[in-house]
Structure formats: C-alpha cells, structure tokens
C-alpha cells in the first residue's frame, strides 16, 4: 500500500534526508503508515536549512519546484496540476492537510483516479493568507477560504484538529467519516505534583513583580508579539513590574525595535532557542503564558503551558478559543483586552489559582493515550477502505 501525504509545508534536503521547520516531524508521519506500507510526502522545497528530521523508514519525498508563493498556484497552475497527477497516480490513498492552496487541485485528481482521500483540517484558510504579510495574500484570502470550504464539503473522510470551531467554519457533508482529534499531543502524562507546585507558587508570591512568557518563531509576525508589547506597556504603567520573556528562534530585530519604540525594551527578554527538554522549566518559572496569535489551528504551546498548570491568556484565533474560558480570550489584535486580562489575573490570586487548576485539567484531553487511540481508529477505517477499494488500474 502506498499513501501520499500532501501539505504545502516547506522541506529541505541534506545528505539524503529531509527536514521540516518543525511542523512535520518524523514521529508525526508514522501516523500514516501501517505494516509494509510506503509513504510519499509531497511539499514545497526550501533552501533554508531546516532542523527537524522528517524522513522515516519506507518514505520518499516529492518537493515541488514551481511553487513557493500563494499566487504561483494561479500563475503556474497547469504545471503544478500535471506534477500532482504524476505523483498521485502512484498512490492507493491520499491524506491532504488543509489549509492549502493544493486543495482544489488534489481532490479532483483523486476523484478522477478513484483514489480515496482523507482531509485534515488544521486551521483557517482565510487567516493563513490574510496574515501572510503581503497585499497579495490578503487579496487571495477569500478565494482560499471558499476553496477550503468546498474541498472539505466534498470529502469522504475529514479529521478536524478542533472540537467545534473548525467544524463550524468548514462543515462536512452528510455521511462523511469524521473525527475531532488535535494534532497537538503532549509527550507524556504530567505528574500531579505540577499543579500542587503551581498553587504553592501563587500563594507564596510577594510584591508586584511578575513574568509573562511566550514561545514561537520571532520572525513570524502573526504570532502577535506586537500585541503583547502594547499590552505590556499598559500593564507596567498600571504599577506592576512585569517582564516579557520570549523563547524561540528567528530574527528578533522587529520585536526589539517595537519594544524600543514603546520605551519598554528593558522589560523584554529574548531567550532564543531552547532544547525541548528545557521548555518545562521555562513554563514553570513564568507566572502567565500569553498567546495573542492572529492565526492558529490548536496551538501546541498553549496546551503545553496548560499541562504545567500555567495560567494562560490567548486570542481566539483558530481553535484556541476551545482551550480556555471566554474570560481569558481576546479578539486577535486587541491589546487592550489582553492588558485588562493580565491586570485582572495579577490582581487576584484566586483567579490565578482557578485558571491554573482549570488549565491542568483541560490539558488531560491532550494526553497521548487519548488522542492516539482516537486517531488510530479513524485511520484504521480509512486504510481498511483503501484495501477494499477497486480503483482504476489502467492509467
């Protein structure tokens, strides 16, 4: 059996292996293989030296040379469609991750070749282009949104990474096999003493000095660093001494420049990249985790923070609104609400403790055993359908 996994994620090649920027790690790709099966991974080629290994046993990668910008799908559509056709006809089944500009190309080819296709809905198509950072992205956003809606509506198998938000935005057709299963999975079950230590820390806190934290690539503007900086200025002006620590790679110049413009640069600490095993200590050290993103699916970093009983405040982007109570959610870009939420938390230990407890309990839904069972059952049905499917062989 050959499965073709398709996303518009950029991959780089080095010494015969393929690497992603973190969005498609090797352990994730094992979801799409069973005994003696082969995996064909389709994505974009990038010259950046990505660091996360994506290659797995019995996998091959096909990286598109003609596609690097969203508008290439319109300017080079014929060539891209032909390339997809040649790859997909080798497969017995296709897994297509959306949002992706490939959606309106891939599904019709699967229909023509009678190849079963499963869709994974991982975020908002509109938001992904609207926040791309260019006028062309904003112009293409409505078309991408419509394309994604139509693709999901036509699919026979649909996996949503949210519990409700993406289901409402991209409804499936009647009779489709569906599952709500986040692509966020914690590495392991978190020990109970985490919540006990957080509550003790809140009780013993003295003074008005606090640390808020955020994790993400600093070069990605849609993560909302500027929103946090504006909120930070308001919070400190209210009499608190709050430091903002950011963990992540990427060029920090824009963040530093904005902090200097707001005259709060001494309150901002760029921690840079951290090893994965160092993240728990960072999360346990901060007082509040903030995530004012403009675009998300269901953010792993928020779930991780919740699993370590960190009080969290986030925007409503993507499925983030499902993770936290409404009172700790703001509209993307609303720095005034973010500032008000931080102030309400810092001014009330009971609120901090309630948020910590609620987050810790909610994070249990993202323990590996819960999600892996749900996802495996879904894909077992899909692969069973592939095995019994009589598709066109004379291509």
The secondary structure of 144-161 as a DSSP string is HHHHHHHHHHH-SEEEES
Cβ within 8 Å of residue 393, ≥6 positions away? none
Which of 309, 269, 265, 264 shows the shortest CA–CA distance to 289?
Answer: 309
Two structure tokens written together for 46: 């990038």
Residues contacting residue 197 through CB under 8 Å, at least 6 positions apart: 284, 309
Residue 395 pLDDT = 40
HSE-up of residue 144 (Cα within 13 Å, Cβ side) = 25
Confidence at residue 132, expressed as pLDDT on a 0 to 100 scale: 64
Per-10-residue mean pLDDT of the chain, 395 residues long, equals 92 92 87 89 88 92 77 78 93 93 89 94 83 75 89 94 89 94 72 90 94 92 94 97 94 94 96 89 96 87 94 91 93 96 95 96 87 91 81 43
* Residue 35 CB coordination number (10 Å): 5
- Report residue 163: phi and psi, to 5°: -90, -30
241-247 and 93-98 strand pairing: unpaired
Identify the pLDDT of residue 93: 95
pTM of the model: 0.77
């Amino acid at each position: 059996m050959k499965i073709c996994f398709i996303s518009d994620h950029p991959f780089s090649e080095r010494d015969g292996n393929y690497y992603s920027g973190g969005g498609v790690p090797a352990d994730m790709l094992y979801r799409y293989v069973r005994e003696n099966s082969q995996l064909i991974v389709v994505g974009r080629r990038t010259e950046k030296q990505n660091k996360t290994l994506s290659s797995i046993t019995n996998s091959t990668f096909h990286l598109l040379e003609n596609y690097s910008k969203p508008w290439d799908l319109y300017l080079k559509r014929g060539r891209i469609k032909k390339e997809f056709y040649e790859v997909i006809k080798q497969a017995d089944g296709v897994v297509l991750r959306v949002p992706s500009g490939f959606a309106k190309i891939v599904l019709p080819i699967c229909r023509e070749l009678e190849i079963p296709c499963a869709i994974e809905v991982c975020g908002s198509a509109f938001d992904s282009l609207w926040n791309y950072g260019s006028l062309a992205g904003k112009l293409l956003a409505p078309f991408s949104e419509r394309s994604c809606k139509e693709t999901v509506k036509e699919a026979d198998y649909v996996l949503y990474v949210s519990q409700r938000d993406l289901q409402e935005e991209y409804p499936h057709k009647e009779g489709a096999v569906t599952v709500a299963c986040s692509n966020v999975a914690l590495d392991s079950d978190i020990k109970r003493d985490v919540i006990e230590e957080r509550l003790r820390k809140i009780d013993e806190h003295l003074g008005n000095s606090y640390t808020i934290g955020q994790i993400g690539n600093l070069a990605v503007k849609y993560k909302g660093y500027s929103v946090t900086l504006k909120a930070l200025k308001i919070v400190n002006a209210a009499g608190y001494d709050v430091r903002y620590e950011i963990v992540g790679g990427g060029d920090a110049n824009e963040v530093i420049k904005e902090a200097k413009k707001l005259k709060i640069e001494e309150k901002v600490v760029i921690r840079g990249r951290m090893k994965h095993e160092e993240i728990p200590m960072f999360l346990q050290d901060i007082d509040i985790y903030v995530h004012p993103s403009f675009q998300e699916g269901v953010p792993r970093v928020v779930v991780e923070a919740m699993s370590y009983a960190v009080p969290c405040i986030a925007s409503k982007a993507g499925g983030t609104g499902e993770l936290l109570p409404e009172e700790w959610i703001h509209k993307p870009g609303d720095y005034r609400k973010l500032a008000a939420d931080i102030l309400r938390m810092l001014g009330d230990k009971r609120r901090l403790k309630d948020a910590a407890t609620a987050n810790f309990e909610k994070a249990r839904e993202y323990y590996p055993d819960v999600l892996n069972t749900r996802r495996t059952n879904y894909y077992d049905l899909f692969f069973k359908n592939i095995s019994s499917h009589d598709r066109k062989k004379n291509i």
